Amino acid sequence: MTLFLLSCKSSNKTSENNNGITSSNTKSTTWNQSYGGTDKSYDTQLLKMREKVASTFQSLEFKDKTTGKTMAYSLFVPKNYDKNKKYPLVLFMADASTVGKGAIAPLMQGYGGIIWATDESQAKHPSFVLVPSYKGPESTGKGMKTVVNDNWETTEEVDMTLRLLDLVVAEYNIDKNRLYTTGQSMGGMMSFYFNVKNPDLFAASLFVGSQWDITVLEPLAKKNFFYIVSAGDEKASKGMTEVGEMLTKKGVKFGEKEFSAKLPQAEQEQQIADLLSKNLSINFVKFTAKTVTPNEETKGGAEHMYSFDYAYKLEIVRDWLFKQSKK
């Protein structure tokens, strides 16, 4: 897991890049780091989406009987929720830059938490979206907090997340055959961990910019998942390579695709469509190095932090996730 924060100024210019991200730089501004994440002040599509969608989530608190501690979380309940109808649920966990910044931070840092709750997504896939927030332990010594680390250690908040999920599933009419986990960096590591700890819980997973202890990941061989990283993200790419080698040794086929994150969005979607035409349960996607970052910036973990949103904007991947069911 790699973490960095950027702040950069914008100029008086409006433009749209090939993948549909509109930049509106009408004044000098800096990214609001109170939400974590990395500087995306150029992405007005994101800025508009989060202002519209984040407020549609309920802000709640979970009181954990096991630890006696509390966890703030956000929950999106489908409009016109019908208690007689079963709904899928997406569990999203953000990266460590959001830890200690409150329940709103995972919703505001990027697309990962909110894109499932847009009107467009809900029209296709009415679903619950659960987004926990984390307080974290004391500082790691680098001025950061996290709930997992690169030694594969977890804090009690990680297992609290599963108990929170149990609570939400019990409270609403949620389809236990269509639970999905996804996360970026720290959150992706947690998703890996959950698949090891309880391999029968989720119907499918979307791992973004993350990795986990390869010695315990054999349960993934029987799972449905997408694994998406930037080729320039050394740790996540290494993790992907290790999982690929493990699957190959076990004789499990998986799909692979690499393309530029600067491709027009329609072309990126077609790349995934070609991948899915192989009808495989496991798919790896790499964004070509130096294509996820503004101005080909690669310092300080930029390849890592800027890769997340490109993964979550792949509509065809999100559609694929909702098609997966344990039955």
Structural domains in the chain plus CATH codes: 39-323 (3.40.50.1820)
Cα–Cα nearest to 94, from 54, 56, 121: 54
Confidence of residue 14 (pLDDT cuts 50, 70, 90): very low
Residue 8 has pLDDT above 70, yes or no: no
Ranges of beta strands (E only) in the chain are 13-16, 22-25, 58-63, 70-76, 87-93, 128-132, 174-184, 204-208, 225-230, 255-259, 282-287
Nearest 10 degrees: CA dihedral of 278, 287, 264, 52?
Answer: 100
71 forms bridges with which residues in the sheet? 62
Distance CA(214)–CA(220), nearest Å, equals: 10
Residue 27 has pLDDT above 60, yes or no: no
SS3 of residue 246 by DSSP: helix
Query: What is the chain's alpha carbon radius of gyration, rounded to the nearest angstrom?
Result: 19
pLDDT, tens digit (0-9, with 9 covering 90-100), for 77-107: 999 999 999 999 999 999 999 999 999 999 9
Lowest mean pLDDT among 27-41, 208-222, 285-299: 27-41
Higher pLDDT, 195 or 25: 195
Read off the tokens for 36. 């974590």
Residues 6 or more apart whose CB falls under 8 angstroms from that of 238 comprise: 211
| Alpha-helix runs per DSSP H in the chain | 44-53, 105-108, 119-124, 156-171, 186-197, 234-249, 265-276, 302-305, 307-312, 315-323
pLDDT, tens digit (0-9, with 9 covering 90-100), for 124-159: 999 999 999 999 975 444 555 889 999 999 999 999
CB atoms within 10 A of CB 151: 6
Q: What is the mean pLDDT of residues 35-61?
A: 95
Residue 180 has pLDDT above 90, yes or no: yes
Q: Count CA atoms closer than 13 A to 211's CA, side-chain side.
A: 22
pLDDT of 144: 58
pLDDT of 19: 52
Q: What angle do CA 323, 325, 327 make, to 5 degrees?
A: 135
Q: Find the farthest-apart pair of alpha carbons in the chain and give their distance in angstroms, rounded.
A: 55
Rounded to the nearest integer, the mean pLDDT of the chain is 90
Residue 312 has pLDDT above 60, yes or no: yes
184 forms bridges with which residues in the sheet? 208
SS3 of residue 220 by DSSP: helix
Percent of the chain with pLDDT over 70: 87
pLDDT of 10: 33
Tokens 């200690």 correspond to 100
**DSSP H helix total and E strand total for the chain:** 10, 11
Q: What is the mean pLDDT of residues 177-204?
A: 98
